[in-house]
Every structure is written in structure tokens, then in C-alpha cells.
Amino acid sequence: MDFSLSRTQEQWQAAMAEFLEAEVYPAEPIARAEVAALTPEQRWQRPEVLSRLVEAARGAGLWGLWLPEPYGGGLSHLDFAPVVELSGRSPHLAPEAINANSPDIGNMELLQRFGTDAQRAEWLEPLAAGEFRSSFAMTEPDVASSDAGNIATSIEVDEAAGQVVINGRKWWSSGAMSPDCRVLLVMGKSNPRGQRHQQHSLVIVPMDTPGVQVERAMTVLGFPDACTGGHGEISFTDVRVPLSNVVGDLHRGFGLAQARMAPTRLMHCLKLIGVAERAFDLMAQRVPKRVVFGRPLAQQGLVQQWIAHSRVEIDQARLLGYRAAWSLDHKDDQDSAAAISALKVVAPAMASRVVDRAIQAHGALGLSQDTPLAELNAYARQMHIADGPDEVHMMAVARHELRRYSS
Ligand SMILES: Cc1cc2nc3c(=O)[nH]c(=O)nc-3n(C[C@H](O)[C@H](O)[C@H](O)COP(=O)(O)OP(=O)(O)OC[C@H]3O[C@@H](n4cnc5c(N)ncnc54)[C@H](O)[C@@H]3O)c2cc1C
């Protein structure tokens, strides 16, 4: 077993690190100021500085590295892992700048793996080129959506018209507030009396289809996540799209949604390692300089424990992250599921603890707008719930383990 990075990993890790230093960190305060200056009507548009970052990322060869050819650079999950980890150091700008932001990353993977040629030409190619953005509409306000089998939005097939008709309400559709969001991937129930995993379908719905109504934006611990298109609540009233907009087979949407989630979860968790590393840097830079009771914080035993625990926990999560990336490259979705769930249990908890220690080490400054820590905290906290709550992933790990003991 070789723990050193490959030449490909080293090359792209160095390029991403340079991009962060030269472009992304300087852009953070500019993006904040731009978003704050927008009028309510302009609120969800992409900050100009982010568009400039996209151009800089393209120039550095970092755009779409993970997408298979001909859509992108064709890196394996493992080769892309150090890049996506680094992008988490600025989670509201860097992933979007390199076309590795959720939910687009999952939607592109889904269309690439399961879409028809026509669907890929119409939706995947422009998404891969960054011509517009997308959203994924699964979660619903009226049902416990951690159990995807509960998803109740109805999808009826109108054979005569060659269409499907969608009625229901979704929320937390990330990216949907952006004027650049042109398409939704909607999961709904098309076969209510079918077997549990053969009840749902996944349908491509252009945002401008009559009956699609964005009702309001959700905030995350008070943050609108405006840079990346916010999170929308959306109603669907007699929304009609052609039957050819169904992704994969009718009534097989449950499995497709799960397949979509695996790489998305991996990417989110790798980003959380970057989140934690950024918080760790800030903490480790701060504590030698801040003197309390005659000694720098860095010389207080308790603070040294924060540093030691944080380093060990980040490195543990990275090992799990790289193992999960390797698994997605070499095994099928089913066989990778436990590795992904293990990572999804560990990474948000690790990032929350590290960011929390960093906030504590900064005193009141850590809660303020003068460091990125408050935003990093919100990002780490949301990942205990987004893409499946902690408990669901613990259940998955436990079931995987217990299967080995049942005869
Ligand atoms: C920032 C953010 C972005 C998101 N983006 C999207 C998106 O783009 N598209 C989309 O469709 N959804 C999105 N979501 C929604 C997210 O995937 C759901 O919120 C999540 O799956 C949980 O569903 P729920 O909110 O309905 O919680 P519920 O299903 O009501 O669950 C509530 C709580 O029950 C507990 N629980 C669940 N199962 C178990 C169990 N087996 N044992 C013990 N406890 C359990 C968990 O603690 C859970 O938090 C996003 C959410 C957030 C916060």
C-alpha cells in the first residue's frame, strides 16, 4: 500500500493551491461586499467576482477536471480528491469556480451515467460548459425525506399526450434561486403500488415550464448561500414535460437518486476536510500570538489538545475520504456504499469539532464577520443533515456490518 500522492494528484493539488492563494482568498471579501450591495431583485445573481474566478479556473486548467471525457478532464475520483479537498477551504466560491459544486456535480454525473444521448446533448453539455446551472428537487416539506421512499410528489404518465404530469412541493432545492438555474431534476412517485424501490421516477424539468413556481428561499443558520444560488422551495402544479424527459427507466428513479448521491457525498465530505484545514490554519496562526495570563494560548495545555485532536481527526477523515474515492473508482455503487456512509458519518462531525475549536480559540472574533469561521461553521453543520442525516449513514454502516454476522 502506497500512501504517497501520484504525480497527477501532486500536479493538480499544486495548481489548486496556487489558484486559492492567487485568486480565491482575495475574492472572498469582494464577493461578500458584492452580495451585500445587491438590491432585493438582484439578490440571487452570481457575483461578478465569481464569474472572474470561473475564467481564472479555466485558464489554470482546473475547470471540470472530474467529468469524464469528452465533457471534462477525466480525472478519477482519487486523482481529483486533493483538488476537491482544497476547494473546501473556500466552500462558497472555489467549488463553483471549478465546476465541482453541488447539486450540479451530482446532476452532471447522473446525466452522464444514465441520460440518453439527446438528454446529454441538451442538458449535460451546457452544464459541463458552465452555460447554465441546475438543481435537484427531492426533499419535500410534508414527508420525512431522510427516507427517500417517502417522497410523495406525484408523477402521472399521460400516455396519449406522451407526457408526464407533476404535482407536489419541494424544498431545499439547492441552486434553484439563481437566475442561471435553467433545469431541475425532480424525483416523484410514478408507481405508488410498486415495490418499495420501484415507485419513483426522475424527470428533467426546465425551470420555465408552466406550473413550476419558486415560492421562497431557505436560509442555512441565517446564511442565504447567495453566491451559489441559495436553496429554493418550489411548487409544481400540473407541470407537463415529455416522457422523453424521464432519466433512465420509468419507476427506477430511487436507484438512480442513490447512485447520484454516492459521488456527491464523497465530494461534500472531501470539501469538509478542506473546511477543517482552513479553520485549523486560522487557529494555529492565532494561538501563538494571543497572550492570556502571561503565556500565549499556544502554550496552554488545553489549547495544545485542541491542536493535537484536530490534526489527528482531520488526517483520519482524509484517509477515509481517499479510501472512499478509491472505492468509487474500483468498485460498483453497492460495494462503495458502506465506505461512503462511513465517511459521511465521520467528516461532518470532524469538521464541526475543528471549526468549533477554532472559533473558541478566536474568542468573540471567531463569531464575527471578520473571519470565515462563522460561514465554515454553518457549512459543517448543514452537512450533518444534507445528503442524508448522520443517523441514516450510521444505520447504513451498522446494517452493512451486521449483514456479515447474519447467516
Ligand atoms: C443546506 C442544505 C442543502 C440541501 N440541498 C438539497 C438539494 O439540493 N436537494 C434536495 O432534494 N434536498 C436537499 N437538502 C435536504 C436534505 O437532503 C434533507 O433535509 C435530508 O435528507 C433530511 O430530510 P428531512 O429534512 O426531511 O429530515 P427528516 O427526514 O424529517 O428527519 C429529521 C431527523 O430525523 C433523524 N433521523 C432520520 N432517520 C433516522 C434514523 N434512522 N434513526 C434515528 N434518527 C433518524 C435525523 O436526525 C434527521 O435530521 C438540503 C438540506 C440542507 C440543509
Which of 247, 280, 300 lies at the terminal end of a domain, its last residue?
247
Q: Does the Cβ of 395 fall within 6 Å of ligand 1?
A: yes
141 CA: nearest ligand 1 atom: 26
Question: What is the rounded (10 degree) CA torsion for 172, 174, 177, 183?
Answer: -110
Q: Which of 142, 161, 163 is nearest to 152 (CA)?
A: 142
Residue 123 in any domain: the answer is no
pLDDT in tens, 62-118: 999 999 999 999 999 999 999 999 999 999 999 999 999 999 999 999 999 999 999
Residue 303 in any domain: the answer is yes
Same domain, 232 and 161: yes
Same domain, 303 and 391: yes
- Ligand 1 centroid–CA 84 distance in Å is 23
Query: Average pLDDT in the 396-400 region?
Result: 95
Planar angle of CA 300, 306, 308, nearest 5 degrees: 100
Q: What is the DSSP letter of 47?
A: P
Same domain, 220 and 267: no
Q: What is the CATH number of the domain that holds 181?
A: 2.40.110.10
Same domain, 222 and 283: no
- Ligand 1 centroid–CA 367 distance in Å is 26
Query: Average pLDDT in the 208-224 region?
Result: 96
Same domain, 328 and 384: yes
Q: What is the CATH number of the domain that holds 70?
A: 1.10.540.10
Percent of the chain past pLDDT 70, that is, above it, reads: 100
Q: Which of 184, 183, 176, 246 is nearest to 215 (CA)?
A: 176
Q: How many domains does the chain have?
A: 3
Same domain, 52 and 149: no
Q: Which of 84, 136, 130 is nearest to 266 (CA)?
A: 84
Which of 247, 266, 281 lies at the terminal end of a domain, its last residue?
247
Taking the C-alpha atoms of residue 225 and residue 209, their distance in angstroms, rounded to an integer, is 25
Q: Does the Cβ of 231 fall within 6 Å of ligand 1?
A: yes
Q: What is the DSSP letter of 365?
A: G
Taking the C-alpha atoms of residue 254 and residue 172, their distance in angstroms, rounded to an integer, is 18
Q: Which helix (H) or strand (E) holds 201?
A: strand 200-206
Q: Does the Cβ of 385 fall within 6 Å of ligand 1?
A: yes
Percent of the chain past pLDDT 90, that is, above it, reads: 93
| Amino acid letter, residue 37 | A
Query: Average pLDDT in the 355-380 region?
Result: 97
Q: How confident is the model at residue 1 (pLDDT cuts 50, 70, 90)?
A: confident
Same domain, 265 and 222: no
> Going by DSSP bridges, is the β-strand pair 212-218/231-242 parallel, antiparallel, or unpaired?
antiparallel
Taking the C-alpha atoms of residue 314 and residue 280, their distance in angstroms, rounded to an integer, is 9
Same domain, 260 and 396: yes
| Structural domain for 367, as ranges | 254-403
Query: Average pLDDT in the 7-32 region?
Result: 97
Same domain, 13 and 93: yes
Residue 239 in any domain: the answer is yes
140 CA: nearest ligand 1 atom: 26
Which of 219, 247, 275 lies at the terminal end of a domain, its last residue?
247
Same domain, 276 and 345: yes
| Amino acid letter, residue 133 | R
Of 134, 135, 146, best ligand 1 pocket probe by most atoms within 8 Å of the beta carbon: 146
Same domain, 261 and 188: no
The pLDDT value given to residue 37: 92
Q: Are 94 and 20 in contact (CB under 8 A)?
A: yes
Same domain, 164 and 211: yes
Q: Does the Cβ of 220 fall within 6 Å of ligand 1?
A: yes
Residue 387 in any domain: the answer is yes
Q: Which of 168, 173, 184 is nearest to 235 (CA)?
A: 168
Of 172, 205, 214, best ligand 1 pocket probe by most atoms within 8 Å of the beta carbon: 172
Residue 192 in any domain: the answer is yes
Residue 336 in any domain: the answer is yes
